[in-house]
Amino acid sequence: MKENYKPDTLCVQAGYSPKSGEARIPPIVQSTTFFYGKTQDMADLFDLKSDGYFYSRLANPTVAAFEEKVTALEGGVCGIACSSGMSATALAVMTVAGAGDNILSSAAVYGGTYNLFSTTLPKLGIECRFFDPDAPKEEIEKLIDERTKLIFTETVANPSIVVLDFEKIASISRKYGVLFAVDNTLATPILCNPFKWGANLIVHSSSKYLDGHAAALGGVIVDGGNFDFKGNKRYLSFNVPDESYHGLVYSELPVAFGTKCRAQMIRDFGAIMSPQNAFLSYIGCDTLALRMERHSSNAAKVAAYLEKHPKIEWINHPSLAGNKYHELAAKYMPCGQGGMMSFGIKGSVSKCATFMESLKLITQETHVADVRSCVLHPASTTHRQLSEEDLKAAGVPHNLVRLSVGIENAEDIIADLEQALGKV
Ligand SMILES: *Cc1c(COP(=O)(O)O)cnc(C)c1O
């Protein structure tokens, strides 16, 4: 959308505009392939000389509508919807890094991302150097060498709720000419705009707030179009012809990263979003702004309640004045801090189980960030592969309970917590 609409307007209006007489919302184009009458028309598509669809592994109209909505919301230049958040992260990294290269990553990242970076990417020869996101700039930049291709972070880390100091990472990224990537899943473009704060690349698990209903798995990569690959020696593969794509030199294109990602990664790995999931995610996004408002206000009320509860050892939500990340959140997420929080229950780990099993409204789920409130005990589920040391590095103590506050009435959520804590 060219107009300077506000985010809540973009949620509803961006992405798909029908022509006269067409469906008002994006049709689900459930077709692998597309018809062309002329050979030259298809040849132009293959040469990237014209826009259009030819095979749904590369692009599809329903998927494109969702990509455009998220791109408009983030203020980027190109979006690529993937089959999951994990594939979005994996493909984003592999677009720039290959065997012999390394990336830097905050140690406080989603458990699946941690596994990808610590176990799977090293098998492909891509080394990951983890850093403490709260460490001083000098300590983080020491990890950079000439083969460093990307710095990976999360706006609000899942599940440790560490809020990113964008300006610190952006200054390192600018100083060394290294791409700055942010997983903006838990903040969403409604609460935080990473491109405004110097990020170059955003990834999302759209399975969370973007879809919002726990209906569709998905991920999105958004290219900020604000990184100059041209002549940057760190990114040779952007500056030499891609023989697998008609000798294209990506750094010379208006959209360098996004084009390379789609032309190589989506083409070769095929992890594109399905049209059905793109449709669900698209209509989910219509209400994103409203939902984020409610998630944030509910969570602030719940956090204020839990903070005073005698059975709670500690609580982490950036809305609380005493929270370590309160100031960073006020700066980078001024309109609300989202629905994710974590807290520790006093006593042994078994108290966490008693508490969670006593909940009636709030359910135990391996999911977060949808309309329904839910809890999880990461140390025994999502993070159970991690050693005690790794758990500490990831900011996940054994008694940590992750609570994703939904959009139910806040009084009902608090009443459920109250009765379950009573059983502990
Ligand atoms: C869930 C999640 C992912 C992974 O996304 P999937 O869609 O489950 O593959 C990545 N990052 C964050 C912050 C998440 O919460």
Is the per-residue pLDDT at 383 higher than 80? no
Give residues (CB < 6 A) around ligand 1.
84-86, 110, 112-113, 154, 158, 183, 185-186, 205, 207-208, 217, 219
CA distances from 210 to 50, 66, 340 (A): 30, 10, 14
> Which CATH topology does 289-421 take?
Aspartate Aminotransferase, domain 1 (3.90.1150)
Q: Which long-range contacts (CB under 8 A, 24 or more apart) does 135-141 make?
A: 137/168, 137/171, 137/172, 140/104, 140/168, 140/169, 140/172, 141/172, 141/175, 141/176
Determine the residue of 110, 217, 280 to mutate for testing ligand 1's pocket, defined as the one with the most ligand atoms within 8 A of the Cβ atom.
110
What distance in Å separates the CA atoms of residue 325 and residue 302, rounded to the nearest whole number?
17
Return the structure tokens found at 35.
Answer: 């018809």
Q: How far is the CA of 249 from the centre of ligand 1 (A)?
A: 32
Question: pTM for the full model?
Answer: 0.95
Return the structure tokens found at 354.
Answer: 């008693």
Ligand 1 atom 12 nearest Cα:
110
Which of 51-65, 187-201, 381-395 shows the lowest mean pLDDT across its residues? Answer: 381-395
Return the structure tokens found at 77.
Answer: 């230049």
Is the per-residue pLDDT at 271 higher than 90? yes
Ligand 1 atom 7 nearest Cα:
85
Each residue of 77-90: pLDDT tens digit? Answer: 999 999 999 999 99
Ligand 1 atom 8 nearest Cα:
85
Q: Tell me if 154 sits within 8 A of 109, measured CB to CB.
A: yes
Boundaries of every domain in the chain: 7-284, 289-421
Query: What does CATH list as the number for 7-284?
Result: 3.40.640.10
Which of 14-18, 157-161, 331-335 shows the lowest mean pLDDT across its residues? Answer: 157-161
Residue type, 333: M
Q: Residue 2: what pLDDT? A: 62
Percent of the chain with pLDDT over 90: 86
Contacts of 195 (CB under 8 A, 6+ apart): 74, 75, 76, 202, 224, 226
Residue type, 287: T
**Where are any strands of DSSP class E within 264-336?**
312-316
What distance in Å separates the CA atoms of residue 110 and residue 115, rounded to the nearest whole number?
9
